[in-house]
A and B are shown apart, each in its own frame.
Chain A
Amino acid sequence: MGRFAITQRVRVKFENAGPNRRVPDYVKGKLGVIVSVHGTVPNYSHDHAEDWGPLYSVQFEPEATASHPREKIIVDIHEPWLSDAPPMGRRKSIQIH
């Protein structure tokens, strides 16, 4: 399937990575948690001729500083854009800049 598993923490790369050239700017550099593993999704006839790599749903906290605690943003991201992140330590914040 892919390198990452559900509940694993990952960091989104800043630089363009992999055949899928675009990932939303607002998650670049952020830490998130894998919540779904989808494997490689063939999309030849519709959107892209190349494989974009295994796809994951990654969960983040919303941007706004005053956001409600029960709000999550889940972004579908291909593996080349993700790197390993240390497991959750004492610090609760998963937002880094």
Chain B
Amino acid sequence: MEYWRTKRLEPRIIMLIRKGTIAFPDLIEASEAARSRLEKLESKSNLENRVAALEIGLGRFIRGIEVATSIIGTRVLVEESRQEAGVYDDEVKLAHRKLGGGATERVGQLEELLSGNMLLLQALLVVLAKKGMVTLEKVDEMLAAPNPPRFENGARIVAKAWLDPEFRRKLLSDAKTTLRELGFALNRTPKLVVLEDTRSVRHVIVCTLCSCYPYELLGNPPWWYKQDRYKQEIVASPRKMLEEMFRLGVPPTVEVRVHDSTSDIRYMVLPMRPDRIEGKSEEQLANLVTQESLIGVGDPLEAETEEAKIVQD
């Protein structure tokens, strides 16, 4: 959450203030209107529910920053220097507020941070509306994103590509444009490439330096995607890794291509269509597509036994 505040929301506010588009007093004046726009957090007793509510809240916060960014529309310079990261001098580094205590205390602190961040975000949106850059109705419409990021989006896209050769062709040649036509905004995805598996090629995706992933389309990656073991071994010995970690044997005739990405291009795999899918609907086919198969470390489920096996170690 602190990452989004320090790297995404506050740099934009500071830029607008520096450029004279808005001023701090505007934000203070807007705070009452902003507060009334905040969704009331239901008081949940159970810790698990509070964590779940926090995750949804963080998603709303990130989406809100995206909406504000698309309204502001200009380039925002985010300093990514080593100095800012505190490599040379601890004093000048961007600080993330620390959490402390046990799980209950930390959840409480996160709730407090989130509500503060949301208040600031809403104040910004109210000010932008007041300056005539947008209307609040339009803001609300944008906030209610029709396609929240989750891997099921990818499953639906894969199922559609299995059934519709023309869509598949367009998806493989220009994924971003094709998916925008389908209603995915992809404003934070510079370039999206869909890699098609064939009888002779299997694609696998990794980001060894960080965890680049098509977040905006597929949501968060599985836990192992960010693990050093996966990152290091998949590029050193792909077949061995697929066998050991994912119990996936790749026939010797099939070439394994591991793609190590940067933040500029996000990759998704279009896995091979399972056999015997005649007569299945797009929705039924989408249910066969696993999160692992979109990264290339697993196959879609077999058509007959949909509950059969989920590749998970």
Is B71 in contact with chain A by the CB < 8 A criterion? no
Q: Which residues of chain B (223-254) have a CB below 8 Å from chain A?
A: 235-240, 252-254
Interface residues of B in 135-191 (CB under 8 A from A): 187-191
A41, B190: Cβ atoms under 8 Å? yes
Query: Count the A-B residue pairs with Cβ separation under 8 angstroms: how many?
Result: 101
Residues of A within 8 A of B254 (CB): 70
Over the window 54-79 of chain B, the binary record of Cβ atoms lying under 8 Å from chain A Cβ atoms (1 yes, 0 no) is: 00000000000000010000011110
Alpha-carbon separation in the docked complex, A42 to B252 (Å)? 39
Of the candidates B190, B253, B258, B264, the one having the most CB atoms from chain A within 10 angstroms of its own CB is B264
Q: From A26, A47, A49, name the one whose CB has the most chain B CB atoms within 10 angstroms.
A: A47
Identify which of B80, B190, B260 contacts A74 (C-beta below 8 A): B260
Number of B interface residues in the complex (CB < 8 A): 33
A41 CB contact (under 8 Å) in B188, B253, B264 = B264
How far apart are the CA atoms of A59 and B258 in the complex, in Å?
9
Contacts of A26 in B (CB 8 A): 208, 235-236
User: Could you tell me if B238 and A62 are in contact, using CB atoms closer than 8 angstroms?
Assistant: yes
Q: B235 touching A76 by the CB < 8 A rule?
A: no
Contact of A55 among B189, B236, B253, B262 (CB under 8 A): B262
Residues of B within 8 A of A64 (CB): 236-237, 240
Bound-complex Cα distance A67 to B240 (A) = 9
Set of chain B residues within 8 Å of A43, measured between Cβ atoms: 190, 263-264
A-B pairs with the 7 shortest C-beta distances? A41-B264, A47-B263, A70-B255, A64-B237, A63-B236, A43-B190, A75-B260
